[in-house]
Amino acid sequence: MKNSVFVTIVMVVAFAVGIFIFYGVFGTADKHSILHHMYMGGPLVIILIVLTLMNITFVFERIFALNRASGRGSIPKYLKALQTKLIGNDIDGAIAECDKQRGSVANIIRQGLETYKFVKGSSSSIEEKLKDVQKTVEEATLLEVPILERNLNALSTIASIGTMVGLLGTTIGMIRAFMALSQAGAPDAVALSQGISEALVNTAGGLIAAIVGIVAYNFFANKVDSITYMIDESNYNVIQALKK
C-alpha cells in the first residue's frame, strides 16, 4: 500500500516537472540550441522526460533501500561474530550482534534467535525446536524479500514503455516527414526537418529511458540476489550452530 502511494506520488510529480521542462525550458530555448530541438520532438517528449525522471527516482530509492538492507557493517564480519556467540551458547549476545548490524540478514536471524530463546526451555526435542526456528526464519524471509525487490518491476516496465514511446514518436515523425515530401511541387523543407527532428529526438529519448531502466534493473536484481544468498547461507550456519 505504501509503495503504491509512493509510485503514484513519483508519477504525479514527474509529470508536473516534465511539463514544466518541456514548455518552460525546451519551449523557450533559443531556436538554434539543442533544447529547442528537444522541443521539436513533440508532446511525446513529455512522457519520455517523465519516464527518465521516474527511473532516476527509483534508482536513488533502491540505492538507499538496499544499502540499508545490507546493514551497518560488513556482513561476513557480522556472521563471524554471530557464529562465535552461538558456539559459546550466548543467545543474548548473538541477538545483540543482530541489533548492532541491522539490515535484512540480521533482522531475519534475530527473529529466528528470538524463537529459539522462547522454545529453548521447553520439553521439545532439539529437532522440534529447530523446526520452529526454521519456520520463523522462512516466514521472515518471505516478508523481507518483497521489500528488497520493491520497484524492480517498475524499472523493467519503464524500460519497455520507454522503447515503445520512443518508437511511436519515431513513427509519427517519419509520417510527418513523408507527408512533407508528398506535397505537390517543392517539398516543404520546414515540415520535413520538423518531422525528422521529431523522429530522432523521440528515438534518442526512448533509448535513454530504456538503457537506464535495463541497466538499473539488472544491477539491483544482482544486488538482491547477493543479499538473498547471504540470508540463505547465514540461516543455514545459524541452524547448524544451534544443533551443537
Look at residue 73 and give its three-state secondary structure.
coil
- Identify whether the C-beta of residue 96 lies closer than 8 Å to the C-beta of residue 82: no
Which residues have C-beta within 8 Å of that of residue 215, sequence separation ≥ 6? none
The candidate with the shortest Cα–Cα distance to 192, out of 175, 170, 204, is: 175
Look up residue 184 and give its amino acid: A
| All structural domains of the chain with their residue ranges | 2-69+152-229, 73-148
The model's pTM: 0.85
pLDDT by residue for the chain (244 residues), tens only, comes to 667 888 889 999 999 999 999 999 998 888 888 888 888 888 999 999 999 999 999 999 999 999 998 888 888 888 888 888 888 888 889 999 999 998 899 999 999 999 988 888 777 788 888 888 889 988 999 888 888 999 999 999 999 999 999 999 999 988 888 887 777 556 677 777 888 888 889 999 999 999 999 999 999 999 999 999 988 888 888 888 887 6
Long-range pairs for 31-38 at CB < 8 Å and ≥24 separation? 37/197, 37/201, 38/201, 38/205
Q: Which residues contact 65 (CB under 8 A, 6 or more apart)?
A: 147, 148, 150
Report the run of H or E that residue 126 belongs to, with start and end. helix 126-148
